[in-house]
Structure 1
Amino acid sequence: MKNLLLLLFLYCLTFSYAIKAQDTLDINLNMKHIVGNSAEFDRSKFMVYHESITGNEWDSDQQRASFLNDYDVYLGRNNGSIVWEFNQVREDPNKKGWPDPQHIQQKGEETRKNYARRTAAHELEHRIVTSMEGGQMSPMYPNGQKTKPSSCCSDASPWEYENYDAVAEFYSGYLTHYFGEGGTSGKQKPLMLEVLNEPFVKANDYSTSNIEIARMHNVVAQRVKKDHPDVMVGGYTAAHPAFESADFKHWDNNWRMFIDEAGENMDFFSFHLYDFVGDNTTMVEKQRKGSNIEAIMDMINHYSVLKLGEVKRWSISEYGWFCPSCDGPYYPERDWYNVRSFSSMLLQLLERQDQIINAIPFLLTKATWAHNKAEDEYNAYGPRLMRELGEMEGEAPHSGYVYTDLIKFFQLWANVKGTRIDTKPNDFDLLSDAYVDGEKLYLILSNLNPEEKEVQLNISELSNYPVENIMVKHAYEINTLTQLDTINYTEHLDKVTLGAEATMILEYTFASAFDISETKTENLFYASSYLQPIKANLPVHFSINNVTTTDHGEAILRIGLGRDLDKSLDPTLTVNGTNIPFPKNWKGNGQENRDRFFGVIEVPIPYELIKENNDISINFSDDGGHVTTLILKTYDLSVPVNRSTFKDGNVDKPLGLGQYSEELKVYPVPSDHLLHIEGLSNKDSYQILSLSGEVLISSDQQTIDISGLNNGIYILTVTTENGIRSRKIIKQ
């Protein structure tokens, strides 16, 4: 991963009493973690399958029901039905270039009657909550292309739509006539409409432009929202959001333009996130998981706040692993990359559980439509839930279908549910989450490192809740083949070993249910500007205003950076006049295989430094690139919490200030004059060190005058009979 540059003097002088900090996860069983208005694991949003309730690729209705019910999966996205019906409708004989409204009504009635007969589907309607229908550029973009009616199902002749309004007429008629309220009345109307799938990457092929596609979104959205206010309309369904390309011209010409042109009419924004491999011979991966995903999502949100005055809701309508050159005979190694990316990306998306309407890992059932039988004996499509027997050596050819290793993703996450509680890893490359449901705890760990790691589990309140059983599911790889181990334990595990880029879910069963009486509430505050160019030795200034704080809390400053790979990622950061150490570590890899670094670096900020109106400056020693976003995330805590030593690549330190152990208390922090120390004996002595290791003050008194120090962060070290103890202090 990244080089973690340690300040050796601080380790030696201030932390010599402790073992070097290891990967540790703090879990507070009694503290609900609230994001916006959400604190639940909503499976209908996050365990969603890319399929319609009328999908016809299952071996049987029983198999479909078993998959959805046994693994508690919901149905989410259909990009085929609306396209099919669009092709079958006749042209209005009285209005050239427009669909025939009577034929739409007739075809819709046929569709509803057909669904009424599919009684097995009716029994699964509870699996449709955040369902979405979506269009395709072909044939739905009106640029002269003709419809393609099928002789089996329509007497229409090919014709072309006149304009966006004519297409919007069909969208509205489709929602009016093709759906009912479930059961014999017809399939339930979708919650969401995704206007077009990945249209910008296809604009040139259809002799149009991004801005024209955005205008089509406006026309469709306005018509649908007028006729169907119960349906959310969104887009633009970005395929490859590489905002940093061409020094952020990609951003300007795609997302920024779309938000400017159509953002007000969108109920949600949709985009796709993939770890990407362009050449299957080298398998060099351009990973999004980690800091790059964070930078993409923060930039959309930050600009939305500045332009629209709000954060739009999202559909992550596809995510996973994408290798366009890897299609061919099935090989199970490809499944591991998807299982790995699905889980780690899901944990990152869960951090925004209040904003996301649905998040859909991209895999299809059999993708039989992609099989060109004239050219290939077997299907060459990539992410499939089922494959044909005979695709692997030693199997009887064409003898049925079996699940691929992608089923292991759903098996891994099958039981997770409940109320979110506080977790905090001490390393950016350890992703975590936890949910409590009655007497159950679901603890989730995911490793962004390409090496395995040992994780210490630090669970508060554990003595109050005797453990009856722990079922540990571990999804990892051996020789790039997906493994899913399940092991049961009857006692608490102090440590677990998490495989390289692996995900582990520990399902605890306790003797009694939990008392979740405390709260941790997230808040986001956006700087008044974004996408600022970097000039050498010229500070980039930001303001974050109208910030609210409480008596107890934590804070993270999320800094988006887009810079060439040979540029520094180590600026001088000042918050309200105080220098803050800048991390040498962040989520995921160093993006060495990308054209440039584009990621979010998260900087722990002393909560006591945060004011209502905040001034932040970032100063690099070299030219080039941009500070793309600046967002302050605060956590309001109902009570103080203890945190394990945090690893940011500079120096091991507690994540927050003001959370002191009983044996040593230092207050007030920050201070402009006197510091008071409690917990010292007459034999103890102290030193105040600069971050460069220089001893600035030495004494044995319990009240310290720091008025002569410059504003900034310092280290207080206390030499006791039991060793050296240390605390950060702030002169302000």
Structure 2
Amino acid sequence: MKFVAGVFKQKLLSLAISASFIGFSQYALASTDVKINLTKQKFIGDVSELDRQKFFNLHASPTASEFSEQDILFFKNELNAGFGRAFWGPLSTAKTSDYPTTEQAIANGATSITNAKNNPLAHHHDQRIIMTEHPYNVIVDGNDPVAGARWAADYFQHYYTDETRPLFYEPMNEPFVHSKDFVGTWDEAPNAEMRRHMATWFAEIGKAFDQRGLETQVVGYSAAWPSLELWDFAHWNSRQKMFMDVAGEYMDAFSFHLYDGVNVTGQSNERSGSNAEAIIDLIETYSYIKWGEVKPHAITEYGGIIDGYGVEYSAEKSSQELRSYNHLLFSFLEKEDRLLTSIPFITGIAKWYYQANNFHPYSATVLRPDPAKIVNGKVLDYLPTEKAKFFHLWADVKGHRIDVAEQDPDLAVQAFVYGNKLFVALNNYDNANKAVNLDFVEYAQTPSQVRIKRLNVPFAEAAQYSDETSSDIFTAIELAAHETVVLEYSYQTDIMHTAQVHQASYYANEYMQEIVANQPLTFNFSQVDVQQDNLSFADALADHVTFDKEMPVKKSLSRSQKFMIKRFERLFNIVKRRYAGNYQNSFLFKVLVKFFNEKAYLNQALQNYYAVNGYNDATGQATLRMSIGRKHDKSKQPVVKVNGHLVDVPNNWKGYDQAARDDFFGTIEIPVAAKYLKVHNQVDVTFSDSEGHVSSIVLVNQTEEVFEHVPATDVSIEALANSSINKDKPVRLHANVLPANASYKNVLWSSSDPSIATVNEHGVVTPINPGFVAITATTANGVASSSLDLQVLDRETLRNTVAITDSLQDLAVNDSYSFNVQYSTDTDRDIAVEISTASGQWIATAKTTVAAGEGVATVVVNLPDELEAGATYQVLASLRAVGGNWQTGVDGHRITDMTIEQPEVIVDENNLLGEFNPQFETGSMFPWEHAWDAVGNAYTDANAAKDGDYGLVVDTTAGKVGVTIAPSLFADGHFVAGKEYKLSFDLKRIQGSGWGGGFSQYINTADGWKATPQAWFGLTNQNAWTSIEQTVVIPEWQETATTIQLNFQTLGQVWHVDNIKIEDITPDPNVLSTVNANFESGEIAPWVPYWENNATTVLTVSNAAAKDGQFGLNIQADGNKNTGVTLAPDVFPQDLGLNQGKQYKISFEGRSNTGGKAQGWIRAVAQGGWSSRIETWFELGTEWTHVEIIRSDVDWTVLANPARLDLYLLNNAGLGIDVDIDNVHIEEIE
């Protein structure tokens, strides 16, 4: 940034950019002049004072559960922000079309009011909030707009008090872009019908609220995608216009969302600038045409949509919307008189988002989790995001408007005066830097200092925010591309005015005019207030004389024409004196009008006079806001005439060129000398080419009058939520001055005891020491004052939080646990820790009391019994009132996965029950359970162990006991039909006499109930471990739903059981089972490289090469040699050469990975016995191929050498060799 010091002159301060300021940019930047007239108060419509509540709001509710007191104080005091919008309402409450009755609304509403009062943030409630709802809560099965509207009116009448009822209700958020969700097709007809149905909902709700006399204002339709110009304005006709036709009569304001970027759907574009202006002007114009008034706007969301970033937070990512907030804000500030509210889409915390995204914040939030304050998944504190800088920039701006003027559409200016403060806000819409020359017109005082706040957000960079104060008064400033600057000038005394400027907007009865080449489009503006301090003869005739349009007009008068005009001027003055305000009805005036209409030479003289002097004595400038929608290659500079006078149309407009959009749709501001305006005006617009529409033309004019001073007579200070404040945080007070139209509403703040608290010029109270103090606001004229008594507490503003700091994984089995709890509390409270089961069944609670402050408390929870090994529990730490129960809690931290250590169990890979706690070393039976017909009991106990720490106790004192495992826990094929299994377990009888025992049995429930024969076991001895072994062959039943059951039948016995084991003892039919035939050892041995392998050969055992199981063999080589593997004679089983008259099946699985086929041989051969070889040639494809041969055995016993087994691939120099081999198998065929 660059500034140049200058000098304020007594009558005229001309702040020009000096050569030293321009420096390197003097050839790149043309300066833009801004005239600032402190002597003139400005009104937009009837509004001059900046109503901050309309502009500086969070998209959040102050009573939202995600906020704490600390958050609300930050928003209100530091950011000076209000609250604007929240999602909830009657249809969200009902959720179905079975809407509650009025009687139910009365009863449930009373409960709701009570609950709202009990909200810990209830004292911050703000009525200036919009309640809105998701369309899916409204458009439910059987939804009825009439019945639903009755329920909505009941809800707003009975669920709130007059002091808490929200001022605004937006029945659905962005409904039209969701029409397809409810009709299931993109077909336009059903979507159009659904949109009309949605509009009917708005209409019926608005009507019902009006009939009830509810103060809540209904707004809609919350347009997400106001690309009104699309499809030659069919979008306008089918959406916004349709809504206004169906529901507009009952709407208190029209709501829509403006975003730079893509909001839900539509083109990626910049709305800020001319496009936003055109959207607003079209809605205003149609409102005026339809109802004779402009209904207000409710901008319920606005901002920027960013892309190209992940979920991770960065200052750069968080900054990108800031440009859009400011660009759009300046448009809204210029329409305050017809703005209900505006809400930048800056939300609060959005816990739902960061909890799902590893604590990275939602892009729109103003607060984010502090990475240093996240403990065990609990966020203990938050940091501001870059979004806070928007509010910091504007935090102190207030006051009433003064007159400013600029000619550059890409520079927006707003100026406000509050006492001795002048706030000048500048916004650069341009993609390039802009040099601004400030021209303070005709003001005598010199400011003593200037505070400069700057917010510059370069694309793809973090925001650059600065706040500086200087006693050098800068004469010029250079704005970076898209930068916003707020200058706060301080003068020695209050700024006073001598005049008032009134800005009014006028709307034509014509709109949406189709453009036809060379065909004038006419727009008429009536009842325009023109500047007319001294009514001349020519001015009086302006609206009464009809001119010959074909007559040439000269911007000069001949001597004779000047003489005639003077003569008639003298005559007109006589008429005015005689008839005063009724001169237009006088006979003489009517004669003069007739004379000038009938006499061509007089008509010509009058036209020439108007061409030179205009129709009134105004010296200022009006603006025609022409909004057009057409293709980019079409002209945007038509011929425009105002009351017959040609005006220049600029080839520039606010913001970017819109080239990224399909069509241009924007407002072009055309300067018009105000002297050419009349009470009734005709504007003619002629384009040289066809297509497109002029959607609207709005005439904006300013008139000036002598300043009318309305003195302040009363003042009040808005009460704080609490009459006390903490000693560590400033609070911001607000004063209301009466009457509402008082000219100067600034107040002087003072403190009764600055040693307790001070107060600055902005009403910010800074506590110094605990004690009592009175803060007083006095009107500038000293007529009235108001005081607020405050107590500064000896207390700090702390977030009330708790978090368990311990890791709660794999804790030892115990009946007492100690928890460390980090806490922050603003008053003395209890910390309670409770343990419950995974399903939420309470077990035990302990608590301790902590003093106000921060720290770590240790809470010991004693339990009635030890927690179960391997089980999961919940732990909740809560911060409660001292002596209070769970209902007094202000914060909590719940951990749902506290686990108790499961002793490490060594799984016997040969035991088919290895994964199912067969030795009971977990300390529990699970997954073993009692059989369905068990009468007695079974449980684990350390004294029942033969080996390890635990065993199973089986007690048949009360009756028989069976123990089993649910068959669903076994994988399919865990027990295979036809296989032989050995069951073994260790058994000791502890109680009982004689013979006692039971049986084992395999059970299958896949198709009814089936079981193997009962295999009985038993003992006669006592207190001695005995090993039990039983074998069984599984019958031919399905390989699913099979389990084992041990059933103890003898009554009156107590048994100890340990080390239950089931082994598959079925002989393996594969002759090669002992030589790693399927490579499941993870190694290649005992296989060795084939004798022909060359140096390029790589033999690898890997998971990637497996057909089944975990491992297979991969063979790779260059293919110049036969390549493979061999089982050497001393390893290879010789079954194939025993000459016993048997047949054998030889098989394996293989595939080629080269993209082509692979060929080879599998061969069993003894050295010196080639004629007795057993072999086959094979070919492998790119998918797994099963190779299989059947051969009779041969006689190798007569040979001197035993045989080997070779499996090799033939040389393949073209593609090389890359083959997977698995499951090599040799099996005797019966």
- TM-score, normalised with respect to structure 2: 0.45
Classify 1:81/1:378 alpha carbon distance in 2 versus 1 (closer, same or farther; 3 Å): farther
Aligned residue for 1:367? 350
CA-CA distance at 1:399 after TM superposition: 6.8
**What is the DSSP-based 3-state SS (H/G/I as helix, E as strand, rest coil) of the residue aligned with 2:337?**
coil
Question: Residue 588 of structure 1 is aligned with which of 655, 658, 661?
Answer: 655
Deviations 1:528-565 (A, max 9, x none): 21111111222222222332201334210110110101
Q: 1:235 touches 1:270 (CA, 8 Å); kept in 2?
A: yes
Report what 2:327 is aligned to: 344
User: Cα 1:578–1:496, aligned 2, differ >3 Å: closer, same or farther?
Assistant: same
Tell me the residue number matched to 2:146. Answer: 165
Give how far 1:52 is off.
Answer: 1.2
Corresponding residue of 1:121: 122
Is 1:238 aligned with 2:255?
no
Q: Which has the larger radius of gyration?
A: 2
61-70 or 401-410, which deviates more: 61-70
Letter in 2 for 1:476: N
Q: 2:495 & 2:51 partners in 1: Cα distance?
A: 20
2:476 alignment partner, one of 487, 491, 495: 495
- Taking the aligned partners of 1:325 and 1:240, their CA distance within structure 2 comes to 21
8 Å CA contact retained: 1:134, 1:194: yes
Residues 233 and 431 of structure 1: is their aligned pair in 2 closer, same or farther, counting only changes over 3 Å? same
**CA distance, structure 1, for counterparts of residue 437 and residue 252 of structure 2:** 42
Residue aligning to 2:438: 457
1:305 paired to 2:288: yes
Instruction: Report the counterpart of residue 32 of structure 2 in structure 1.
Output: 23
Distance in 2 between the 1:189 and 1:399 partners?
32
2:405 pairs, out of 416, 421, 424, with 424
CA distance in 1 between partners of 2:250 and 2:92 (Å)? 26
Change (3 A) 1:164 1:371: farther
Letter in 1 for 2:106: Q
Deviations 1:50-103 (A, max 9, x none): 111211222x3023123212222111211235554334xxx8xxxx83324444
Match of 2:131 in 1: 133
Q: CA deviation at 1:253?
A: 0.1
CA shift, 1:411, in A, is: 0.5
Look up the equivalent residue of 1:335 and give its one-letter code.
Answer: S
1:639 shift after superposition: 7.5
Aligned pairs for 1:141-156 within 5 A: 141=139, 143-144=140-141
Tell me the distance in 2 between the aligned counterparts of 1:370 and 1:204.
Answer: 26
Which residue in the other structure is 2:167 paired with?
191
Tell me, in whole angstroms, the C-alpha distance in 1 between the residues paired with 2:262 and 2:309: 9
* Inter-partner Cα distance in structure 2 for 1:105 and 1:435: 47
1:469 maps to a residue whose letter is Q
Q: 1:622 aligns to what SS in structure 2?
A: coil
What letter matches 2:31 in structure 1?
Q
Report the residue type matching 2:395 in the other structure: A
Alignment of 1:67-466 (within 5 A): 67-80=75-88, 82=90, 84-87=92-95, 97-118=98-119, 120-122=121-123, 124-125=124-125, 128=126, 130-141=128-139, 143-144=140-141, 162-182=143-163, 188-207=164-183, 209-277=194-262, 286-323=269-306, 328-370=311-353, 373=356, 376-379=357-360, 381-390=362-371, 400-462=381-443, 464-466=444-446
Q: Which moved more, 1:207-216 or 1:495-504?
A: 207-216
Residue 66 in 1 paired to residue 74 in 2? yes
How far does residue 615 in structure 1 lie from its aligned partner after superposition?
2.2
Measured in 2, the distance between the counterparts of 1:101 and 1:572 equals 61
Per the TM alignment, residue 203 of structure 1 is displaced from its structure 2 partner at its CA by: 1.4
* Cα distance in 2 for residues equivalent to 1:581 and 1:191: 45
Quote the residue 1:42 is aligned against. Answer: 51
* Residue aligning to 1:155: none
Give the conservation status (yes or no) of the 8 Å contact 1:132–1:194. yes
One-letter amino acid matched to 1:563:
R
Partners of 1:399 and 1:52 in 2: CA distance: 21
Contact 2:75 2:82 in 1 (8 A): no
CA distance in structure 2 between the aligned counterparts of 1:25 and 1:36, rounded to whole angstroms: 22
State the identity %.
32
Question: What SS does the aligned partner of 1:114 have?
Answer: helix
Report how far residue 378 of structure 1 moved: 3.5
CA distance in 2, matches of 1:174, 1:501: 45
What residue ranges of structure 2 are gaps of 5+ in the alignment?
1-26, 184-192, 533-617, 708-1230
Query: Who is 1:517 aligned against?
Result: 498
Query: Matched residues in 2 for 1:456 and 1:639: separation?
Result: 28
1:638 and 2:618 aligned: no
Q: 2:914 matched to which residue of 1?
A: none
User: Quick one: distance in 2 between partners of 1:328 and 1:310?
Assistant: 46
Instruction: Give the counterpart letter for 2:258 in structure 1.
Output: L
- Aligned counterparts of 1:637 and 1:206: Cα–Cα separation in 2: 54
Q: For the structure 1 residues 371 and 166, does the alpha-carbon distance in structure 2 shift closer, same or farther, using more than 3 Å as the test?
A: farther
Secondary structure of the residue aligned to 2:636 is coil
Give, as a single letter, the amino acid of the residue that structure 1 aligns with 2:637.
Answer: D
Are the equivalent residues in 2 in contact too, given 1:234–1:268 (CA < 8 A)? yes
CA 1:630–1:279: 2 relative to 1, 3 Å: closer
Q: Secondary structure at the match of 2:321?
A: helix
Residue 426 of structure 2 contacts residue 485 of structure 2 at CA under 8 Å; is this kept in 1? yes
When residues 533 and 222 of structure 1 are mapped into structure 2, their CA distance, relative to the original with a 3 A threshold, is same
What is the rounded CA distance, in whole Å, between the counterparts of 1:194 and 1:546 in structure 2?
34
Letter of the 2:645 partner, please give it: T
Amino acid aligned to 1:509: S
Contact in 1 for aligned 2:58/2:348 (Cα 8 Å): no
Cα distance in 2 between the residues matched to 1:538 and 1:181:
57
Contact 1:320 1:361 in 2 (8 A): yes
Cα drift, residue 576 of structure 1 = 1.9
Whether the 8 Å contact between 1:278 and 1:325 is mirrored in structure 2 is no
Match of 1:150 in 2: none
Distance 1:70 1:390 in 2: 22
Counterparts of 2:527 and 2:71, CA distance in 1 = 54
Alpha-carbon shift at residue 468 of structure 1 (Å): 1.8
Structure 1 residue 326 displacement after superposition: 5.2
**Given the two structures, how large is their TM-score scaled by the length of structure 1?**
0.75
What amino acid does structure 1 have at the position aligned with 2:212? D
Contact 2:196 2:243 survives alignment (8 Å): yes
Total equivalences in the alignment: 581
Instruction: Kindly provide the amino acid, as one letter, of the partner of residue 239 in structure 1.
Output: A
Q: Secondary structure at the match of 1:548?
A: coil
Instruction: State whether residues 390 and 399 of structure 1, in contact with CA within 8 Å, keep that contact through their aligned partners in structure 2.
Output: no
Amino acid at match of 2:169: L
Counterpart CA distance in 1 for 2:310 and 2:510 is 43
**SS across alignment from 1:215:** helix
Contact 1:526 1:631 in 2 (8 A): yes
SS of equivalent to 2:322: helix
What is the CA distance between 1:109 and its match in structure 2?
2.2
Deviations 1:367-414 (A, max 9, x none): 2234573xx42456321112224499xxx9967431110000010000
User: How many Å apart are 1:197 and its aligned residue?
Assistant: 0.9
Offset at residue 279 of structure 1 (A): 12
Tell me, what secondary structure is at the counterpart of 1:99?
coil
The question of whether the paired residues in 2 share the 8 Å contact of 1:563 and 1:598 is answered with yes
Whole-Å separation in 2 of the counterparts to 1:214 and 1:431 = 35
Determine the C-alpha separation between the residues in 1 that align with 2:153 and 2:360.
36
* 2:506–2:699 Cα contact (<8 Å) kept: yes
Residue in structure 2 matched with residue 724 of structure 1 by the alignment: none
